[in-house]
Chains A and B, each alone.
Chain A
C-alpha cells in the first residue's frame, strides 16, 4: 500500500505523488515532467560534489535513469525530491571514487575537528557588496570559495542552504545524524563568510571600528 505523502500542514498530497503514480502506471510523459522539474538541481548538486562538468552531466543522467528503474522502491513517506537527491549524491561519490582509482570517497573526508574555532576576520562588508563585481566575476568568486570547503561541509551547505532541504532531510540523505548536520552547517557557513570577506569587506579606510575584546 502506498503511503500518501502530504505537504507539511496541509491535507493535499504533494503534486509529485500523483506524477510518480502516473509513471508507475506506465505514463512516461509524467516522468518527463519530473525530470524537467529537478534536472537543474541535480546537475548543481553533482557539480558541487564532483567539481567536474562532464561528471556532473553523467551523474545527472545516471541518477534520473536509476530513479526510473527503482521507482517501485520509492516510498511515499519521503519526498520524491529528497529520494532523488540521495541517488544523485551517491552517484556523485561513486564517480569521484572512479576518478581516484578506487580510493574510498565519503562525505566524512577532510573534516577538521577543532570545534572551538571562532570567526577571525571581523571586517564588516560593504552594503550590497556583490554589486562591486559583474556576474561572471561574482560567479567565479562564489565557485572558488565554495570549492575550497572540505567536501563534508560543502555537501551539507549545498543541500541545506542552496537546495533548501531541511536539516532532517539533509541528515537522511547523507546518512548523518542531525547534530552532525548542524555542526557541519555552522562550520561551512562561517568558513564561507570568512573567505568571502576578502572580496566583500569595506575599504580599510572606512572600515567600521570594532571592539578589540570580543571573545
Chain B
C-alpha cells in the first residue's frame, strides 16, 4: 500500500467503516510509515479537539432570551 492509497482510506479508517481485511492492510502500512502515522494520529486528534471544545458558546442569558422570543411567536401562531 502506498501513502496515497492510505490517504484515500484515511477517513474510512478514522470513522471505522473499513472491513477487517482493509483495516489490517492500513495498520500494516502505519507500522512502517512514520509519515502516515503522524497524519493519522494528528487528524484523529483534530476531530477530537473540535468535538470536545465549544467554540461558539451560547450564554445562558442569551439562550433564554432567544428561546422566549421563539416560543412567544409560536404561541401566537408565528
Contacts and interface: CB of A to CB of B under 8 A. Distances in A.
Interface of A: 28, 31-32, 35-36, 39-40, 43-44, 47-48, 56-57, 60-61, 64-65, 68-69, 116, 118-119, 122-125, 129-130, 135, 138-139, 142-143, 146, 157, 161-162, 182, 185-186, 189-190, 192-193, 196-197, 200, 208-211, 214-215
A135 B55 CA distance: 9
A197 B46 CA distance: 9
B27 interface: no
B20 interface: no
Given A143-B55, A146-B55, A214 B74 contact: no
30 contacts: A28-B74, A32-B67, A39-B63, A43-B58, A48-B56, A61-B66, A61-B69, A65-B70, A68-B74, A118-B3, A119-B35, A119-B39, A122-B35, A124-B42, A130-B49, A130-B53, A142-B49, A142-B55, A146-B50, A157-B50, A161-B47, A186-B10, A189-B11, A192-B46, A193-B39, A196-B42, A196-B46, A214-B35, A214-B36, A215-B35
B75 to A, nearest CB: 6
Nearest to A45: B56
Contacts of A31: 71, 74
A190 B3 CA distance: 14
B71 A28 contact: yes
Contacts of A209: 34
Interface in B37-76: 38-39, 41-43, 45-47, 49-51, 53-56, 58, 62-63, 66-67, 69-71, 73-75
B53 A123 contact: no
A89 to B, nearest CB: 15
B24 to A, nearest CB: 21
